[in-house]
Structure 1
Amino acid sequence: MKKTVLAFSRIAPALIERLEQNFTVIVPDPKKGDVAAQFDAALPKAHGLIGAGRPLGRKQLAVATNLEVVSSVSVGYDNYEVDYFNERGIMLTNTPDVLTESTADLGFSLIMSSARRVAELDAWTKAGHWKASVPAAQFGTDVHGKTLGIIGMGNIGAAIARRGRLGFNMPILYSGNSRKTALEQELGAQFRSLDELLAEADFVCLVVPLSEKTKHLIGKRELELMKPNAILVNIARGPIVDEAALITALQDGTIRGAGLDVYEKEPLAESPLFKLNNAVTLPHIGSATTETREAMAERALENLTAALLGKRPQDLVNPQVFKD
């Protein structure tokens, strides 16, 4: 008898067809009523789950008595109660690496657009304010040669650092849990404590995973350590920044600006951020390119298939639960 796979977000029809070669696949359909209710009803049958964006843990999975693996179409896994997965012996997989370059592109685009006020001046031009040479009130700030500080020098942080150093001749500072000697040699990157980095950098880019330790890592105190002309970029997770403190800092000029792809509450329907010219606000699109999302879904399918066929998945978050 085939094992059952349940999708908990939209999966491309072509991938569904491939899964159906080995498994019985259930995809909740909005046309058939409440998607959440369909998902809950199918959980007891599911041996594997695939998707993204849905919190899953003790409360949600209590009835999923046959569950062997959750294959997340994401690199981050803060939506999942990993301790509970370990307790149950449920494998969790993610999709690292395939989104590194696309997310780094997005991070650097936020640096550029915040510095040169791209979104603001696009709206200013379309509103008919361009009557003569652009006045000083609309000037931006240079990116090349400025100091780039990266908090969390993992794969994505390193990719952003390379863009800054090799493309824009930016000195690179970084902070994190460990030294990256290879990057220090490759890019001349210099390790700093968090406070030192905040005080020295012209651009501060957050690329750390969300945890109890990193929640509100950047708050009022940290924002006040930054230069008045500095720009904060967050492509990690929204709760890493105290959003209320950031809004105040942007309003009173504590820092020059912010480029944001993530927020404490998502989707962000309304916010004081939307009224601030010095905040660029994107709808969590770090990996949202056609090529990258297809690659992520492909990797998630491979991980799921391996797990349900008794093989070790390539991207196993909790390897201790795998049984040969």
Structure 2
Amino acid sequence: MKVLCLWHATSGEIKYIEDAMPRGTEVVAPEGEYFSRFEGTYQQLKDHAVNADAFIGWTLPQGIPEIATKLKILSWLHSGVDDLGQNGVLSLAKQRGFKVTNIRGANAIAVAEQAMMFMLALAKKTLLKHEVGREMGAFFPLFGEEHRSAMLDGRTLGLIGVGSIGSQIAKRAKGFGMRVLGVRRNKERPAEFVDSVHGMDELHAVLGQSDYVVLAAPITGETNNFFGEAELKAMKPTAFLVNIARGNLIQEKPVYDALKSGSLRGYGADVWPVYEYGKTFPANFTPRLNIQKLPNVVCSNDQSHDADGQLERYIEWGTENLAEFAAGKPLTRQVNLDLGY
């Protein structure tokens, strides 16, 4: 079996994969100079790709899947596979019959902590109070509405998406004394730390009860741009919105307008909408309305997963996928090619 690392893997990373696989497995990686070691170009990968049985990595250059006619499994080192859907890899997998796995859950705790950070930063007006504090300023009058913090204790969290990340958010929200309402595609599936689970047809009812709304759903054809004006109107004007999943879950303009008008109290985001050439024009990878610069917005830029131990866990879980496949075991994290996650 030949495994191709799609990034400039270190000798230690290659050995780790070799040691986890059956004896005789060949593990290779691109060589030469690189701008980012976590990327491989078509030219660097093509000679190995043509006879590789397995791919593992974070990026997949256009053209590489097409020439990999012996490919049996792709171990994708992300939780989301929407990029693979958009560039046709999932369709190719269905056509050729190769398996696709991901590492869903590997970053769940790190992302859940980031979601809680956003909720706290918004509720406690962290950025405002930091700037005033560093200038040794004071807020007056005491308990003025414009600088009074919100609370999490006793408040309701509407959690849209109760998968591996959503479940970890619910667990932490309970630690803050919150009531948690979950919304998911299959409301019959049990969810620990969630007080009640609802279907998407009950979304607006849940939004109307929530003091905080966190988007933790995968992006699919059904969820792309699903959160817009109607959903914002269903929310309390005192509520906060956090997007920890994918930028294109929201419609940017309605969220921007709600933040400007005060009908949405605040927004926290680790992700931003992606405007792609051929679907929108012009193409853009940053918010068109500069929503990130509004005073009631706190943000990071796809950094929720960038935490201690995450790189090692990604490679560990991705390697587990390959080892399960090589041993003929059921794939714990196999992607459903029809559902897209």
The answer to whether TM tops 0.5 is yes
- Quote how far apart the aligned CAs of 1:315 are: 2.1
Match of 1:230 in 2: 239
Does residue 1:80 correspond to 2:84, yes or no? Answer: yes
Paired residues in the alignment total: 312
Equivalent position amino acid for 1:283 in 2: N
Aligned partners of 1:55, 1:237: CA distance in 2, in Å?
Answer: 21
Equivalent position amino acid for 2:334 in 1: L
1:209-224 counterparts in 2 under 5 A?
209-224=218-233
Equivalent position amino acid for 2:155 in 1: K
- Quote how far apart the aligned CAs of 1:98 are: 2.9
Does residue 1:172 correspond to 2:173, yes or no? Answer: no
Equivalent position amino acid for 1:69 in 2: I
- TM-score, structure 2 normalization: 0.80
The answer on whether the counterparts of 1:15 and 1:301 sit within 8 Å (CA) in structure 2 is no
Does residue 1:259 correspond to 2:268, yes or no? Answer: yes
Match of 1:198 in 2: 207
Does residue 1:315 correspond to 2:320, yes or no? Answer: no
- Quote how far apart the aligned CAs of 1:319 are: 9.1
Aligned partners of 1:229, 1:112: CA distance in 2, in Å?
Answer: 15
Structure having the higher helix fraction is 1
The partner residue of 2:153 within 135, 144, 148 is 144
Q: Which runs of 5+ in 1 are unaligned?
A: none
The answer on whether the counterparts of 1:68 and 1:308 sit within 8 Å (CA) in structure 2 is no
Does residue 1:25 correspond to 2:28, yes or no? Answer: yes
- Quote how far apart the aligned CAs of 1:180 are: 5.1
Does residue 1:98 correspond to 2:101, yes or no? Answer: no
1:58-77 counterparts in 2 under 5 A?
61-77=65-81
Equivalent position amino acid for 1:4 in 2: K
Deviations 1:65-89 (A, max 9, x none): 2222111112221121323212111
Structure 1 runs of 4+ aligned residues shifted over 6 Å read none
Equivalent position amino acid for 1:97 in 2: G
Tell me: higher relative CO, structure 1 or 2? Use CA pairs within 8 A at least 6 residues apart.
1
Equivalent position amino acid for 1:7 in 2: C
Aligned partners of 2:61, 2:240: CA distance in 1, in Å?
Answer: 31
1:50-65 counterparts in 2 under 5 A?
50-54=56-60, 61-65=65-69
Deviations 1:105-152 (A, max 9, x none): 1211111111112234324434x2x32346533333112111111111
Say if 1:269 and 1:257 are closer, same or farther in 2 by CA, change over 3 A: closer
Q: In structure 1, the residue corresponding to 2:50 is in which secondary structure? A: helix
- Quote how far apart the aligned CAs of 1:10 are: 5.5
Say if 1:62 and 1:249 are closer, same or farther in 2 by CA, change over 3 A: same
